[in-house]
């Protein structure tokens, strides 16, 4: 039988995806989750203004969205005090990372990141043939100096850091990140993933000029704005780099509904302030549930909490699996020693109660499984 003639690169890639969605788990169990706390979605939902705007736009869904995303781009530029030429909008940060790798990477090009950091970035790097070079976390934080040292040694095309971090929810002061930019070697682009920055403590956002050619900053409407399913992300960078995205991006990738929802969400600063309070409360609830069960919650600057299960990665995996069997969906870091943790997203009260109910027995079953 005739087979497609895959490129050697694609043929050599593993048949894996970065994440297994909760829907796949639900299909395997034959029932829905009681608590969807693994994907770092915002279970509190989007602004009522955004919902109304998306509903109003639904009747126009027969039309393609504006390929220039003009209105949202202008609003984001005004919001960040830069020019529309500094802004590119795409299908979430994930989509933009893919475009960035396509723009800059050829097979064999070195890329620097932290071992165990956001796996979708690695997925795109591998998909375009880049060679990943990693440095370990320092404690439970990404290590800026180690990343810079590796970048200075290798002169990679890209160097990735998230602030705040996923999967550990840790963060660095914005000034630390800004100083990091000044040390980026010639020819290296620093990729600063700021997906969670709206939920982080004051001072976390790095003071970086949008025209700085050494860095591209990634933002999203998925977390603080509660629009993960709308797939709206954007990047801030030098106009020359931003304009290069037009050579390869999907110009009709943003629907009219998504554009309308994001534009309305951006303007609803009252809802964003309310969301910060809800997330703060849920973080403390998760932390208390963890402490009540003898576990250690790590400090969080995001809409999730990394919970130290007190043993190794095998035990944390057993806890995750037992929670899934109890219809509570969570995730965990993949690389030791961070894999001793499970990662629990903030959510509404009913989901927090489901977690509190399921965790004690899940821990007991996990201990029974791993004690021998």
Tell me: do 289 and 349 sit in the same domain.
Answer: yes
Res. 353: pLDDT tops 80 = yes
Spatial CB neighbours of 333, under 8 Å, sequence gap ≥ 6? 116, 167, 168, 306, 339, 341, 343
Query: Exposure pattern of 207-219 as b/e (b: 16+ CB <10 Å)?
Result: ebebebebbbbbb
Average pLDDT, the chain: 96
372 pLDDT band (50/70/90 cuts)? low
What span, in angstroms and rounded, lies between the C-alpha atoms of 71 and 78?
11
**Residues 41-79 pLDDT 10s:** 999 999 999 999 999 999 999 999 999 999 999 999 999
Which residues have a Cβ under 8 Å from the Cβ of 357 and sit 6 or more positions away?
none
> Which domain, by its residues, includes 301?
21-45+270-370
Name the domain boundary from 267, 300, 333.
Answer: 267
Domain with residue 256: its CATH number is 3.40.640.10
pLDDT for res 19: 79
Q: What is the pLDDT of residue 171?
A: 98
Question: Where are the extended beta strands (E) located within 204-333?
Answer: 215-220, 233-236, 296-297, 304-308, 328-329
Can you tell me the mean pLDDT for 189-198?
98
* Model confidence at 1: pLDDT above 80: no
Among the listed residues 180, 179, 175, the one whose alpha carbon sits nearest the alpha carbon of residue 161: 180
DSSP 126: H
- Show Cβ contacts of residue 137 under 8 Å, excluding neighbours closer than 6 positions: 114, 115, 116, 143, 168, 338
Q: Which residue, 223, 240, 267, sits at the end of a domain?
A: 267
Last residue of a domain, which of 212, 233, 267? 267
């Amino acid at each position: 039988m005739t087979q497609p003639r895959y490129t050697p690169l694609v043929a050599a890639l593993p048949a894996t995806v970065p994440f297994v969605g909760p829907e796949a788990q639900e299909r395997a169990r034959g029932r829905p989750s009681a608590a969807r706390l693994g994907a770092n979605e915002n279970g509190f939902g989007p602004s009522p203004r955004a919902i109304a705007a998306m509903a109003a736009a639904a009747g126009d869904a027969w039309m393609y969205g504006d390929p220039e995303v003009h209105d949202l781009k202008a609003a984001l530029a005004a919001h960040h005090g830069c020019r529309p030429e500094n802004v590119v909008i795409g299908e979430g940060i994930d989509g933009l990372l893919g475009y960035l790798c396509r723009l800059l990477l050829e097979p064999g090009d070195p890329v620097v990141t932290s071992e165990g950091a956001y796996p979708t970035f690695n997925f795109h790097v591998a998909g375009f043939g880049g060679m990943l070079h990693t440095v370990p976390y320092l404690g439970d934080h990404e290590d800026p100096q180690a990343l810079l040292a590796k970048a200075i040694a290798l002169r990679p095309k890209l160097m990735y850091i998230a602030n705040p971090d996923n999967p550990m929810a840790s963060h660095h002061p914005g000034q630390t990140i800004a100083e990091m930019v000044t040390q980026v070697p010639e020819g290296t682009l620093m990729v600063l993933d700021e997906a969670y920055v709206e939920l982080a403590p004051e001072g976390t956002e790095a003071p970086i000029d949008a025209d700085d050619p050494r860095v591209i900053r990634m933002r999203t409407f998925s977390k603080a704005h509660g629009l993960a399913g709308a797939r709206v992300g954007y990047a801030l960078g030098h106009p020359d780099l931003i304009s290069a995205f037009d050579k390869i991006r999907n110009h009709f990738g943003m629907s009219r509904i998504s554009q309308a929802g994001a534009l309305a969400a951006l303007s609803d600063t009252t809802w964003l302030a309310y969301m910060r309070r809800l997330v703060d409360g849920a973080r403390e609830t998760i932390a208390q549930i963890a402490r009540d069960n003898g576990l250690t919650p790590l400090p969080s600057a995001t809409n999730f909490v990394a919970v130290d299960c007190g043993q190794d990665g095998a035990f944390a995996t057993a806890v995750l699996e037992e929670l899934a069997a109890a219809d509570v969906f969570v995730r965990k870091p993949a690389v030791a020693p961070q894999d001793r943790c499970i990662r629990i997203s903030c959510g509404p009260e009913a989901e927090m109660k489901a977690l509190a109910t399921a965790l004690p027995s899940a821990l007991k079953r996990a201990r029974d499984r791993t004690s021998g």
